[in-house]
Amino acid sequence: MSGIGEATARLLAWRGAAVVLGARRTERLDKIAHEIRDRGGRAVTRAVDVTAREDLERLVGLAVTEFGRLDVLVGREFAHPLGPRDQPSLTMISSSMTQDIWHLLGARALSYELHQQWRELWRP
């Protein structure tokens, strides 16, 4: 995690949100979470492969288990191999599209959890 993802996590945490950080490699995430906690924030990490639906569902579940609910999912991993601008390879296009599809599955896991929370909130 770096760039806009890291900045977003830090800003949300410093504004009082509990954050769950997920990426394939957790070394950097652990450092960010430690810094957030040192400043009084709440943060946990989890290794996650965005191409594995189960990992995305576990990441959402971690938020609920650790913090009681999930309000928003901010996520965008984008790996676009560099190549000639006028001739992207089929592999490059396929890789980008595959990641987009898996992000939709992450949103699906989020929407299921939010639906459950709303049902509890509006139960008569």
pLDDT (0 to 100) of residue 66: 92
CATH code, domain carrying 87: 3.40.50.720
Cβ atoms of 29 and 17 closer than 8 Å: no
Question: What would the two tokens of residue 101 be?
Answer: 């599809």
CA 94 to CA 118: how far, in whole Å?
36
Task: Read off the pLDDT of residues 24-47 as tens digits, 9 standing for 90 and up.
Answer: 889 999 999 999 999 999 999 999
**Strand intervals (E) in 1-124:** 18-23, 42-47
Q: Is 105 exposed, middle or buried (0-12, 13-18, 19+ CB in 10 A)?
A: middle
**Model confidence at 124: pLDDT above 70:** no
The mean pLDDT of 49-54, rounded to a whole number, is 77
pTM exceeds 0.85, yes or no: no
Cβ atoms of 109 and 60 closer than 8 Å: yes
Task: Read off the pLDDT of residues 69-103 as tens digits, 9 standing for 90 and up.
Answer: 877 777 655 444 555 555 666 666 666 666 665 66
Structural domain boundaries enclosing 15: 3-121
pLDDT (0 to 100) of residue 37: 96
Residue type, 117: Q
Question: What domain count does the chain have?
Answer: 1
